[in-house]
Amino acid sequence: MKLKFLAIIFGLFAISLSAQDGPSDKGQKERAKRMEAQKIAFLTNKLELSPEEASKFWPVFNEYSAKQKALRGDREKRPSREDWENMSDADADKLLNQMLQKRENELNLQKSYISKFKAVLPTKKVVKLFHLEKKFKEEMLRTLKHRLHEKENRKGGERETPSKN
C-alpha cells in the first residue's frame, strides 16, 4: 500500500518537474529529476506522511520549492574568486548587500510557508521538514564529494601507472 502510494506521488511529482523550466542541458535535467525524486522519497519516508497528509502536503511543498528555486536562480551570477580580489570596495559593499537581501528573501519565503505547512501537517512535522531538508542537502553534498573524490582517484591512478618497457 505504502509503495503504491509512493509510486503515485513520485509519478505526479515527475510530471510536475517536466512541466517546469529547468536546466538547459538534458543530462542536468535528468540529474535534477533524480535528485528531486530522491528528495521526495526521503521526505515521504522520514516525515512518515499518511496518504491524506501527503495529498495535501506535496502541492504546497512543490509551490514552495519552485519559489525557492526562483530565489536561488540569481546565485549563478555570483562573481568568481578572481573578481572578488579585483573588485572595488564599493562593488564589494554592493555585493554584500545583495547577498544579505537574498538571504532575507529566502527567510521571508520560509516564514510565509510555515503557516501553509502547518495547515496541512502537524507542527512537529513542519519542524522536522525543515530539519530534513537540511539533512538531505548535507547527504547529497557528502555523496557528491565522495563521487568526485573517487573519480579523481581513478584518474590519478591511471596517470601514475608506470609503462612497461
CB 82 within 8 A of CB 113: no
Rounded to 10 deg, the angle between the 123-160 and 26-47 helix axes is: 140
CA separation for the pair 21, 19 (Å, rounded)? 7
Burial environment of residue 29 by CB neighbours within 10 A (0 to 12, 13 to 18, 19 or more): middle
The predicted structure's pLDDT at residue 26: 80
Q: What count of Cα atoms within 13 Å lies in the side-chain half-sphere of residue 148?
A: 6
The predicted structure's pLDDT at residue 53: 93
CB 165 within 8 A of CB 157: no
How is the chain split into domains, by residue range? 84-120, 121-156
CA distances from 108 to 49, 74, 118 (A): 26, 17, 16
Contacts of 149 (CB under 8 A, 6+ apart): none
**What is the full per-residue pLDDT of the chain (165 aa) written as tens digits?**
554 444 445 444 444 444 444 445 788 888 888 888 999 999 999 999 999 999 999 999 999 999 998 988 755 566 766 777 788 889 889 888 988 999 999 999 999 999 999 999 999 999 999 999 999 999 999 988 988 888 888 876 554 445 554
The predicted structure's pLDDT at residue 112: 95
The predicted structure's pLDDT at residue 155: 78
